[in-house]
Structure 1
Amino acid sequence: MRNTTALRHTMTLMIGLMSLIMTPAWAGQFKEVGELEVHYNTLSTAFLTPEIAKQYDISRSGYRGLVNIAVLDTMQLGKPAVSADIQGQVKNLVGNSRDLEFTEIREGEAIYYIATFAADDEETYRFHIDLNAEGNRSASFDYNYTFYVDTP
């Protein structure tokens, strides 16, 4: 029974993440850095199901954002996910900065990293991400995201 529940939660999260991947907005949300392809997404934690939020100990709120990062190896057939040490910061336009604390999630062959942050409505945030992937491959990139308090 427990394995069935865990599998259902995993499938729910993966379907949710896949729906993000399939949207046109996701198509441009990756960076190619050397041998790595880094996919990233930012959204409100209010869009997580209560079950997924509980499973990963994430507070659901219109005022909390979630950063999701996956690192793929472009040198291997099928671009498999690779593990990485990820550091990040989020800064608003007036310069208030805070560190992001990423947690690694492994589900089957998928590896992704999530971090949450406090957010304000209609605030633009600048994210700086540093990563060191297995094989001593590193990358850094920045992106902006305007957060809107919205509930599903």
Structure 2
Amino acid sequence: MTEMTGGCMCGRIRYTAEVRDDKAYLCHCRMCQRATGGVSIAYRNMKRADVRWEREPEHYHSSPIAKRGFCAECGTTLTFQFSDEESENMDLTVGSFDDPSRFRPVHHFGVESMHRAWINTEGLPEYRTDEHQPLVDRWMKTIGKLPG
């Protein structure tokens, strides 16, 4: 078991999670697409008892059966969980972990709404943000360095 940390973009909401393995999954359902604005979202299913919050996220009841945790300050999507308090599990967004590189997708969910063109993007041109001069120039002009 490994202790891992994460949180929202602005740092207002932070958590520590006890992670037992590297399993994660991609959800493609329309509710997740609308909630995130993306074609899918990567989640790590967790026991709620294995997540400690320094500050609890705000929640949006996205359906009669589920709620989603987020930061009201920066808007970062952090969690998905069923609304009933009996559920011992929840999902944390993989991207909210400080180091999400450990996790590997083991399945897809909500495949009825999957956009297959976005699944295998191997072979498309790849660009680094720190090599895109207009972006670098904006950061340098604004704060004098690239973000960490």
- TM-score using structure 1 length: 0.28
Structure having the higher strand fraction is 1
Larger RCO: 1 or 2 (CA < 8 Å, sep 6+): 2
- TM-score using structure 2 length: 0.29
